[in-house]
Amino acid sequence: MAEIAGKELVEKKEWNSLAIRAIPLLLILVSFAFYLYRLSVPPQYIYDEVYHAYTAAQYASGNTDAYLWYKRAPREGVAYEWTHPPLGKLLIADSILIFGDNSFGWRFASAVFGAIGIGVAYWLGYSLTGYMVVGLLTSFLLLFDGMYYVQSRTGMVDIFLVVFLMLALLMAYKYLTATNGRTRYLFLTGVFIGLAVSTKWNAVYVYAFLGLSLVVCSAYTLYKSRAPVSKWLLEAGLLFAFMLLVPAVLYLLSYTQFFLSGNGIKDFFKLQYQMYYYHSHLKATHNYQSKWWEWPLTLRPVWYYVKYYPDGRIANIYTNGNPVIYLALIPAVLWAASDWIDENWKALLIVVLGFFGAWLPWALVPRIAFAYHFLPSVPFGCVALAYTIRQFLSRGGTWRTAAICYCVAVVAMFVFLFPIYSAIPLTRAQFDMRILIPSWR
């Protein structure tokens, strides 16, 4: 298969084209407006907002006890969240400083990043395949994914992790493929991977695989071109500086408030050890925990919120993937792999790193896990799925009809489940209709 290298390469557009810049901006604005709708509902903390949003509010108020594992929150029902690095909570704190310590304030930053992620998804799909329609379809799929929607409207840190990882891998792809400005793209790769790790340690999985891949690819390129020793040393120095030093500096900078409050480097390392100990020894259980292999099958959602009305109606928020999308992700990645393995292997590398690199390590993690831990993989699966849809569309006839019907089904499923993504009150019968399988309860 050589479509990308062949005659259809004319579909490629230049990055400085007005259309290429305007489309993602429009996608960001539309999705942002979508995420703002009823953003403050419900007005109280839901699920892990009792940790993330509450701690962000403490950061905003200058209460640096929130960084310390041995401190307890002064009231019941909330707790200081110190088990993840602080960057995501600091972003939430910024929106709280602007809009106040209320549900809109502690969810606004997530809505901003969720919308940015829709625009980045377009760039990712377009860059990896050369087709604008793949970029648009990638954004379309992510926009109509229930889990991405819920996390873009919740005061938790996961959506920041997702967007930073998307940007890191997009920049890595530009570094691997660019003929000019490669150093800039490597630097940006280090910046975004550093921001991702400073948000949640989950990013370390992708970070490790990406770093190793860049070293191998760079070494192969240098060996193939018979580069002199000086070029090898320069490349090694750049990789060390941008993929190790830059992320390390950003990680330390994310703790600026911690250090300014009087804590030293010894306290910092004590905190890092406590974070590691927590995640490696956590024995807790949860009614909505799930196993890693269940996530692309949407077998077990996470229940964030419920409200019972006097008239018998019920409002819920569940975070779960759109089944029409998720059930197709693995087949789509395999389809794309069969097409790209020869002609577009660098794009395949990015999709594999993003999809499997963020997901499969969870098979080895001993602590409990939840469906939203799969979310960082979803945009990369959506790129492969968007490419597959595009291939069906280009074949015409029955294939094209099937692709169109599939896209309609994606929207229909999202609309059908929308009430339980967004706390819209339903009768008991209407709610029961949306529990598609028993394990969703």
E strand or H helix at 317, and its extent? strand 314-319
pLDDT value for 138: 98
* Radius of gyration of the chain measured on its C-alpha atoms: 22
Q: How far apart are CA 199 and CA 332, in angstroms?
A: 29
Residue 2, domain member (yes or no):
no
Does residue 305 contact residue 372 with C-beta atoms inside 8 Å?
no
CA angle 212, 213, 214 (to 5 degrees): 95
Residues of the chain with pLDDT under 50: 1-15
| 368: containing domain | 7-440
Q: How far apart are CA 329 and CA 298, in angstroms?
A: 11
Residue 135, domain member (yes or no):
yes
pLDDT value for 156: 98
Q: How far apart are CA 108 and CA 300, in angstroms?
A: 27
Assign 357 to helix, strand or coil: helix
Residue 9: both structure tokens together: 């390469």
pLDDT value for 14: 45
pLDDT value for 404: 98
Residue 1, domain member (yes or no):
no
Q: Which amino acid is at 187?
A: F
Q: How far apart are CA 295 and CA 322, in angstroms?
A: 11
Q: How far apart are CA 161 and CA 201, in angstroms?
A: 9
Contacts by 234-242 with C-beta closer than 8 Å and gap 24+?
Answer: 238/183, 238/186, 239/186, 239/211, 239/214, 239/215, 241/190, 242/186, 242/187, 242/189, 242/190
Q: What percent of the chain has pLDDT over 90?
A: 89
Give me the number of domains the chain comprises.
1
Question: What global pTM score does this model have?
Answer: 0.94
Taking residue 44's Cβ as centre, other Cβ atoms within 10 Å add up to 11
DSSP classification of residue 292: G
Give the strand pairing for 314-319 and 302-308. antiparallel
Overall residue count recorded for the chain in this entry: 441
Does residue 391 contact residue 320 with C-beta atoms inside 8 Å?
no
Residue 125, domain member (yes or no):
yes
Q: How far apart are CA 204 and CA 42, in angstroms?
A: 33
